[in-house]
Amino acid sequence: MTIEWRYTVEQGLGVLSVSGYLGPDAVRRFAGAVGWVVGRGSGPVIVDLTELRSWSAEGQLAIIESARRLADAGRGLELAAIPADGSLVPGGECPPIPVHADLAGALAAHGSGYGERPEDRHEWRTTGWPNGDDAGE
């Protein structure tokens, strides 16, 4: 089992939404999604885990590595709606990873008006993204 993802950029804020199970088999795909994120947009990235069923220790490590990768690119990573069956404990050398109860709270923390100007939105996603069309990765 793997993950599907959607990355949306609007008003200088990126949202990487992930669905499925972030386990050992999905770590590489997640790293690829983060590579996509690093190459597109600027500013902070909220990783929305609302549709994520669960994650493994390897999946959590992939999140931590992504925070490092984004920090190296001058961007921050935040989490929204982490799975109820786990918590993220970053290592001492990891940049801070703010955790929000849900995506609405994460967006509100930025006071961005995100979602109010769809004409300024750019979006990429995997073909299997839930409720998506066939726009590929």
Phi–psi pair at 41, nearest 5 degrees: 90, 175
Tokens 């709270």 correspond to 105
Q: Are strands 13-22 and 3-10 parallel, antiparallel or unpaired?
A: antiparallel
pLDDT at 136 over 90: no
Better-predicted residue by pLDDT, 98 or 11: 98
Tokens 């299997």 correspond to 128
Query: What CA–CA distances, in Å, run from 115 to 11, 22, 43, 110, 121?
Result: 9, 26, 16, 12, 8
Report which secondary-structure segment, H or E, holds 29.
helix 27-39
Answer whether residue 54 is part of any domain: yes
Q: What is the token pair recorded at 117? A: 């100007």
Answer whether residue 24 is part of any domain: yes
The domain total for the chain is 1
Answer whether residue 94 is part of any domain: yes
Q: What is the token pair recorded at 13? A: 């804020």
d(Cα 23, Cα 57) in Å, to the nearest integer? 8
Answer whether residue 132 is part of any domain: no
Whether the model clears a pTM of 0.85, i.e. scores above it, the answer is yes
Answer whether residue 136 is part of any domain: no
Answer whether residue 61 is part of any domain: yes
Answer whether residue 71 is part of any domain: yes
Answer whether residue 70 is part of any domain: yes
User: Which CATH number do you get for residue 15?
Assistant: 3.30.750.24
For residue 103, give its domain range: 3-125
Tokens 């404990």 correspond to 89
Distance of alpha carbon 106 from the chain centroid: 12
**Structural contact between residues 26 and 20, judged by C-beta atoms closer than 8 angstroms:** yes
Rounded average pLDDT over 21-39: 94
Residue 78: name the closest of 54, 111, 45, 51 by CA.
45
> pLDDT by residue (tens digit) across 87-119?
666 666 788 899 999 999 999 998 866 766 666
Percent of the chain at pLDDT > 70 equals: 82
